[in-house]
Amino acid sequence: MTHTQASRLHQILNGDEAQTRQSDTSTKIVAISSGKGGVGKSTLTANMAYQLSEMGYKVGVFDADIGLANLDIIFNVKIKKTLLHVLKGECSLKDIVVEVKENLLLIPGESGDEIFAYNNHEIMNGFAQDAAFLDQLDFLLIDTGAGIGKNVQIFLEEADEVIIITIPDPSAITDAYALIKVTNTFHPDINMVLNMTRNEKEGELIYDKIKKVAQNNIENPPLLHYLGAISQDPLITKSSKFRILFAEEYTSNLCAYELSVITQNLLRKMEHKVLLPPQKMSFALFIKRVLEHF
């Protein structure tokens, strides 16, 4: 083990997670998706981002839910322009990025797929320079669309970590399994979160069933990781209605605690990769790789 590796491992073992991440030059990309809509994906993305920012990480959230970009509503902020306007040359990236809270930025996406038409060398060179101020981000959370469409797959393929969210509903579970099968072909390391469960045990049972079906029916089964479950709670619905973050407003509530467990489990999982050679990644490079698929 090299001195650098030992130093990084020492920082993590002593719990200095934020300092460890901030000392890296790479942004970790976490794509959050679901097999169908209505499972709380965007709400959990926003609240996880908030929890990470409260831990001292610099966090960006990219609203990539093509057709239903709504994180501005969840964060209760106003946006005037999106990434599409930047790619068109109508404004700079700094003009569209919104500071939600300290250490937490929102990068508005576009409710349409027109952005995928802007893949050319000149545009991306200028975009990379324009986006340099985002190189400081420790995490970039990608709120993808739902389903197994090409747009969703591309965001998942280019991410460091993939989280698939589902709920205890037969159709939602079926759609989540379909997304797992597709994602496994290009990103077999998949994390799962159960939302709106009656209790922790229900989440574990559903995950175990999904994992068993995957192992028995997929030729090269995915490496599934269970991050945890969030219980059904009227406070989450209330927070969405009033455009507040439940992880901020109801810190002592069970749902906030359960999400913090999920967030910590994700961090611990990512820590196991600490000794691997870090790969340089940034928001600009991520967008470039996404657009190269078209």
pLDDT digits (tens, 9 = 90+) for 108-131: 987 667 777 787 777 888 888 999
Tell me the pLDDT band of 271, cut-offs 50, 70 and 90.
confident
Residue 253 has pLDDT above 90, yes or no: yes
Residue 275 confidence (pLDDT): 55
Residue 209 forms part of a structural domain: yes
Residue 51 confidence (pLDDT): 98
Q: What is the DSSP string of 180-218?
A: HHHHHTT--EEEEEEEEESSHHHHHHHHHHHHHHHHHH-
Percent of the chain at pLDDT > 70 equals 87
Residue 101 forms part of a structural domain: yes
Residue 263 forms part of a structural domain: yes
Residue 3 forms part of a structural domain: no
Element (H, E) at 280: none
**SS3 at position 238:** helix
223 forms beta bridges with: 189
Domain that holds residue 256: 25-291
Residue 18 forms part of a structural domain: no
15 phi, psi to nearest 5 deg: 80, 5
Please give the structure tokens belonging to residue 193.
């979160």
Q: What is the CATH number of the domain that holds 255?
A: 3.40.50.300
* Number of folded domains that form the chain: 1
- 161-166 β-sheet, strand order: 98-101, 104-107, 59-64, 139-146, 28-34, 161-166, 189-197, 223-231
Residue 47 has pLDDT above 50, yes or no: yes
Q: Find the mean pLDDT for residues 77-96.
A: 92
139 within 8 A of 28, measured Cβ to Cβ: yes
Tell me the pLDDT band of 226, cut-offs 50, 70 and 90.
very high
Mean pLDDT (the chain) is 89
Percent of the chain at pLDDT > 90 equals 75
Tens of pLDDT, residues 191-217: 999 999 999 999 999 999 999 999 999
Residue 5 has pLDDT above 50, yes or no: no
Residue 204 forms part of a structural domain: yes
Q: Find the mean pLDDT for residues 259-280.
A: 83
Element (H, E) at 136: none
Residue 111 confidence (pLDDT): 64
Please give the structure tokens belonging to residue 293.
């698929």
Residue 21 has pLDDT above 60, yes or no: no
Residue 10 forms part of a structural domain: no
Residue 6 has pLDDT above 70, yes or no: no
Tens of pLDDT, residues 141-194: 999 999 999 999 999 999 999 999 999 999 999 999 999 999 999 999 999 999
